[in-house]
Amino acid sequence: MYYVVRCDIASGKEEDMDRLMQRVKSFWMAQPGVKGFQVYMDMMEGWPERTMMIEVDDMACLQGVLEMDERKQLRKEFMAMAIQVQSQMMDMMM
């Protein structure tokens, strides 16, 4: 199961976002039930984009992480640099 967050990055905030992504990855990977964290970059014409794919054991694990104060603080920093944020759950069978 994957929690996927996609966003465009506000103009001039690409380097700040990439630094934040390292902190976000460290946070998520330290949580029980989190199996993986990947960030994909796409430079669409005029709008840099980032997609985070966070692999979790189940919805209970995800809900526990989403409720953490540290995650809420990271989200606040993320939202200050992101525009057009979309998130979804994906169940990918390999």
Q: What pLDDT shows up at residue 77?
A: 98
Which residues form the domain of 81? Answer: 7-90
Q: Are 79 and 13 in contact (CB under 8 A)?
A: no
Q: What pLDDT shows up at residue 26?
A: 98
Give the pLDDT mean for 65-80: 98
What type of residue is 75?
Answer: R
Q: What is the pLDDT of residues 1-40, one digit of tens each?
A: 999 999 999 999 999 999 999 999 999 999 999 999 999 9
Q: What backbone torsions phi and psi does residue 20 show, to the nearest 5 degrees?
A: -65, -40
Q: Are 53 and 40 in contact (CB under 8 A)?
A: yes
Which residue, among 38, 32, 49, has the nearest Cα to 90 in the 3D structure? 38
For residue 1, tell me if it sits in a domain: no
For residue 2, tell me if it sits in a domain: no
Assign residue 53 the CATH number of its domain: 3.30.70.100
For residue 37, tell me if it sits in a domain: yes
67: tokens are 């409720």
Q: Is pLDDT above 90 for 44?
A: no
When divided into structural domains, the chain yields a total of 1
Helix (H) or strand (E) holding 11: none
The CA distance from 85 to 87, in Å, is: 7
What type of residue is 1?
Answer: M
Q: Is the pTM of this model over 0.75?
A: yes
For residue 38, tell me if it sits in a domain: yes
